[in-house]
Structure 1
Amino acid sequence: MATTIAQNIAKLQQRISVAEQKYQRDHDSVKLMAVSKTKPAALIREAAAAGAYHIGENYLQEALEKIIELKDLDLCWHFIGPIQSNKTRPIAEHFDWVHGVDRLKIARRLSEQRPPSLPALNICLQVNVNDESSKSGVSLAELPELALAVAELPQLQLRGLMAIPKASTDQQEQRHNFAQVANAFKALQSQLPQLDTLSMGMSGDMDAAIAEGSTIVRIGTDIFGARATPPA
């Protein structure tokens, strides 16, 4: 298994490298995040040994157990997805990045609950680019107001945007969706020049995401294999 995970990561790094070159991106401008939800800490340890530094988790309680178990490793922990109000404190206390903020109320709670002894919590606002009712995220129209408000909060560092567009196998459609997020990002940079992160792209659409400016791709199955049933 260790060899398989190492090989998977090597293949993905090569795929990223090829896409960077193809789309005139700077070398090493796209980071690989290993999304390890439902996977045991032992597999994350193998991924870390193969060079995976950025680890993404969706399920809070499971993630907290892994963070404790793997505290001997120098890992950067990312919380992905929607956040309930009663989950903000442990997220603020234990994670380095949050990729699912789409409401000012949640951002305020993360700001208030981030321990002053820790560096500012890195925030990506989640954009619902296709206005899908089944997905979280702020609309493109409401994004600027939210971004400016979040950027003012202490103990947070607004870094950029995250998106999970509607699933499509058509690369032109994928690129169109990602381009909308990238254009919104560029528009925000005129007022918030510190923005430097576009968290876009998963296994099926990472090439299109890199073409449109993604700086972090979030990959799970292609590293760890098929997921187990999520915890209740």
Structure 2
Amino acid sequence: MLLRLPGTYPAQGDTRLLTDTLARLGYARGRSVLDVCTGGGAVALAAVRAGARRVTAVDLSHRAVLTARANALLARARVRVWRGDLFEPVQDERFDLVLANPPYVPAETDRLPRHHPGRSWDAGVDGRALLDRICAGAHRVLVPGGRLLLVQSTLSGEEATLSHLRSRGMTAAVAARAPEPFGPVMSARAELLRSRGLLRADQEHEELVVVEARLPVPSGAAARGFGRVV
């Protein structure tokens, strides 16, 4: 059971899909791992359990950082937790694996909450305020051959994520998908999403996907021992 301060994103279906995919693929073992939008640190701790050599976690929220640090202490896990905006605190470092469970729920406006629980899920009108930034910047903090695992809803544009990552020179595909019943946030947002044509009239679930992307190894360089190529 993880500690959770009020206003910190709880581990939910998207967290489980990402951590289950991480465990199945085995990419963390012996590797350096970065977890962005860490929330309470559930994904970072899953990387530790999966055998990561070094784990760093980042979140913009003060409460999330405090919660993640507390959970790492309680788990006796070595996790560096920094407060900052996505890759900014680690811009001079490189990692074998980046994990991300960012806010991705389409909202009424593009104004992102700053001091409200909604900052954990609201992501602009199209749900891509954080997704696009992660797609644009992940390659800068990955070693050659490094990988990104990112979880999102298909309501926020699965193909847009794949296209954006490929435009940055990465190979990308869906590694896992699963239906997720609407929770309180999505139930409250359902009429708005139906009005935009994103949901059927009778739809009460969304589909979650884990997108896997890989930064190619330069021609002539030795691969770093990762498993399959996306």
Question: For this structure pair, what is the TM-score category when the shorter chain's length is used for normalisation?
Answer: 0.3 to 0.5
Q: TM-score, normalised by structure 1?
A: 0.36
Q: Which has the higher helix share?
A: 1
Q: Which has the higher strand share?
A: 2
